[in-house]
Structure 1
C-alpha cells in the first residue's frame, strides 16, 4: 500500500518577497499613471505625472464666469448711471459710461474692449476724441466715441444695465485668450495659477513626450512662419453699398467666407445694430462669435477687441501671422483711413473696418498684408478713382493706420 505524502507550504525566501513587492509597486504606479482626469474637455485619460502647458497653437475656448468675475461685474454695474446723470457733458458721459473691469490682471472697458490704459485715461481719450470730431470728415461707418456715448446715454437704465452685463460677461469668458495672446506675442508671464483657473487655456499634451511638450511651449517667432499665408477666397468680396456700412460689408465677407452663403448687407446691418453713425467694433466681434464658426477652438476661439497700443510693428505683424497661419481665420482690421497710409484714397476719412486675411514676408523686401477693402469711393463720387476689393499693401502702413485710430484696437 502506498502512502500519501504530506506537502507543507514552502517558506518564501527574502528574494521572493522583494520581487513580489517590485511587481506590486509597478502595478500601482501603472494604474495611478492613467487615472481619469476631469480637467480635460475630451475626457481622456491623463498621465498623473503630466505637466500643464499653455496652448501654443489653436485658441482657448470660452471660459466660465466664476465667483470672482461675477463680483467684479457687479461692482462695475453698481456704478451704472441713471437716466438723468447719463445725459451730461462728453467728459461726464465718458466717466459714467466707459467704466472698466479687471479680469486676471487684464482691463476691459465698456465700449472700448481690452486695454492697457488706465480707466481715467480711456475716459479722457474718449471725451477728447468725441470733442474733436467734425462733420467735414468723410465717414465710412466706424462708430465714433461721440456716437457711442450718445447711444448709450439714450438707453433706458434697465436696458443699459442689461447691455453692460452681457458685454462684461462675454469679456470674462474670453479673458484666457487675451492673457495667452499677450503671453505668446508679447512674452508676458502667465499669472500665478492661471492654468488651474482656466483649463480652456491648457495644451492637449497626453499624446506627446515631455521633450515635445517643452519644445512646443516656445512661442513662435516671425521666422518660424511660412513666407506667405492667406484665408478666404478673393472672389467672395463685395463693396459697401452705403457710405456708413463698412461694418455690414466687412461682416458680409467674413461670414460669406465661413458659410459660403452671401447674405445681404442689410441683414448684417440689422445684426450689428448699425445706424447712420456706423457700427461698433464690439458688435463686430459679437456677431462673428454668434454667426460663424471662426470662433471655434480649432480656429481663432472667441473673438475679442484686443488693445494694440503697446504693440510695436513686429509684434503686430506676428499677431497677424498667428491669426492667419495658426488660427486659419480672418481678422477685423480697425484702421483710420488716411491718404498717407492708403495711397488709393482721394480724401482722408474716418475710422474704418477691413477684413484682414493674409500676409507675405516677401523675402528681403518689406512685408505686405492682404485684406479685403469694402470702401469704394467711386461708388459715392464718380469723379474719384476706383478701389479694388482685394488689396496687398505695406504691412507697416497698415500697422500705422491701426495705431493712428483713436481706439488702437483690433478684432481677433
Structure 2
C-alpha cells in the first residue's frame, strides 16, 4: 500500500478515536425537544452548571497525567492485566475531586481504582474462557485495557488530553451533584471560582441565573410539538393520572425538594431495539439523540462516532457524544454530561440522583447495569454489562419505587424462541440500583 495512503488511513483512525472528546461550538448543533409531562405542579428548578474554564492549575494537572501515561513502557509480549491497569488507569485531581481515565469521577483513591479495575478485568477474562456469555455491547474491563494497550502513544496522548480537558471543564457539575444529592458542602472559595453556580444557589445578589422560558406544550398526538428552539418552564404541566403508562404522565403531588412523585422525559414512541447483539451503546445513543433532535439517525452512524467494536462501547464515549451532538448538556438542562462512580452511594442517594436528573434537569440518563436475570427477570439468560436510557421514576409510597428506562436489548431478535422484551420499561428502582452497583465500574452517565 502506498505510504501516503497508509498515513491517511492511520490519521483517519486517530481522528475517529478522539472525535467524541473534541470540543465543539454549541450553537451549531440541532435544537432539540423534550416530552413534557401532562398536567400539575412545579418541579424543582434546574440547577445544572455550564462548562467551566480550564485554569492554569487544571492544565498543569492534565499535562502531568498525559506525561505519566506517555512514560509507561510500551506493552510487549505477555503483559498481565494488573500491569495494564497500573499503566492505563491514571487519575487527575481537579478542585479536590478525582477523575480517572476511562472510569470517570470517583470518591475512591487512585490505587483502589486501579486494583478494582485489574480484578474486574481478570474476572472478565476468566468468564470469557468459560461458558459463552452474551455481550450486549458494554466494553468490559479486560477488553478496554487490552484495547488501550494497542493505541499508539501519540493517539493515546490526544485521547487522554481531550478526555481530561472535558473533565476539567465539568468539575462544577460534579460539585453541584455532590452538594445537592450527597449533602457535601462546597469547598472554600468554590462559589467565587464558579459564579454560574453561585447564581444558581442564590448566595449572591450580584449574579442572577440565566432566564428560563416556557415549556413547549404536549400535542394530542403521540409526538410532542416542537419549536425551533425548545424551551423549558419552572412549572411544567403534569397530569393526575394514576400509574405510569405509554404516555408521559406525572402525579401533581410532590415530595422532598419539590420533585413530583412521578415524572418522566422522552417520547415513548421514539424507541428502537439495538440492531446488533453488541450495539446497546449505539442503540441507547440513538434514542437519547432522537429525544433531543426529533430525528432518528441510524445506529451505524452512532457506532462509528462512538468507536464501537465487537467488544462493545465505552461509557465515556457515549457521554462525550451526547455532549457533542445534543443540547442535553446545556445549563438549562443537565449541564455537561459526566461519567460518575456511584459505588459508595446508598440506594436513597442513587434514587435522589435519578429524581433530580429527570424532574429538575429534564434530561435522560445513561444507565450502566450488569444484565443479570436476578436484577431483570424479563431476561431469558444472564448477559454482560449493558446500557439503557433512564427516563423516569415513580415514587409509590408504601409500594416499591420504580424507574423507567428505554431497553435496547431484545433477545427475541437474536433468538426467535425467546420472549419479547418491551422497549419502554417500568422496573424496580432497587433492582436497577443493585444492577448498577454490581457492574465492575459501578458508574453511569449524568
Bucket of the pairwise TM-score, normalised by the shorter protein: 0.7 to 0.9
Q: How does 1:148-227 map to 2 (within 5 A)?
A: 148-204=144-200, 222=256, 224-227=258-261
Q: Flag structure 1 segments of 5+ consecutive residues without an equivalent.
A: 1-54, 214-219
Q: Give the RMSD, CA atoms, in angstroms.
A: 2.2
Evaluate the alpha carbon distance shift between residue 91 and residue 229 of structure 1 in structure 2; reply closer, same or farther with a 3 A threshold.
same
**1:98-117 paired onto structure 2 within 5 Å:** 98-117=89-108
Alignment correspondent of 1:217: none
Q: How does 1:11-410 map to 2 (within 5 A)?
A: 57-81=46-70, 84-87=73-76, 88-133=79-124, 134-135=127-128, 136-204=132-200, 222=256, 224-410=258-444
1:3 equivalent in structure 2: none
Distance 1:287 1:387 in 2: 27
Give the greater-gyration-radius structure (CA): 1
Give the Cα separation in 1 of the matches to 2:280 and 2:323: 18
- Residues 176 and 200, structure 1, Cα contact 8 Å, conserved in 2: no
Partner of 1:22: none
Does the aligned pair in 1 maintain the 2:198–2:204 contact within 8 Å? no
Q: What whole-Å deviation, never above 9, does each CA across 1:385-406 have from its counterpart, x for those lacking one?
A: 1100000011111001000000
Displacement, 1:295?
Answer: 0.4
> What SS does the corresponding residue of 1:80 show, helix, strand or coil?
helix
| Shift >6 Å, 4+ stretches | 205-210
Are the equivalent residues in 1 in contact too, given 2:70–2:157 (CA < 8 A)? no
Higher RCO structure (Cα 8 Å, ≥6 apart): 2
Corresponding residue of 2:246: none
**Deviations 1:244-287, CA, capped at 9 Å, x for gaps:** 00000000000001000000000000010000000000001000
C-alpha distance in structure 1 between counterparts of 2:203 and 2:135, whole Å: 52
Deviations 1:104-129 (A, max 9, x none): 11100011111111111111111111
CA contact (8 A) 1:333 1:354 kept: yes
Alignment partners' CA distance in 2, 1:366 and 1:159:
48
Partners in 2 of 1:367 and 1:179 — Cα distance?
27
Q: Deviations over 1:74-102 (max 9, x none)?
A: 11112114585345321111111110000
Q: Secondary structure at the match of 1:138?
A: coil
- CA–CA distance in structure 1, aligned partners of residues 203 and 342 of structure 2: 35
TM-score by length of 2: 0.76
Deviation digits for residues 296-315 of structure 1 (CA, Å, limit 9, x no counterpart): 01000000001111211111
Q: TM-score, normalised by structure 1?
A: 0.82
Post-superposition Cα deviations, 1:147-192, rounded to whole Å, max 9, x if no partner, equal: 1111111111111111000010100000110011001100001111
* Cα distance in 1 between the residues matched to 2:439 and 2:165: 26
Structure 2 distance, partners of 1:361, 1:167, is 36
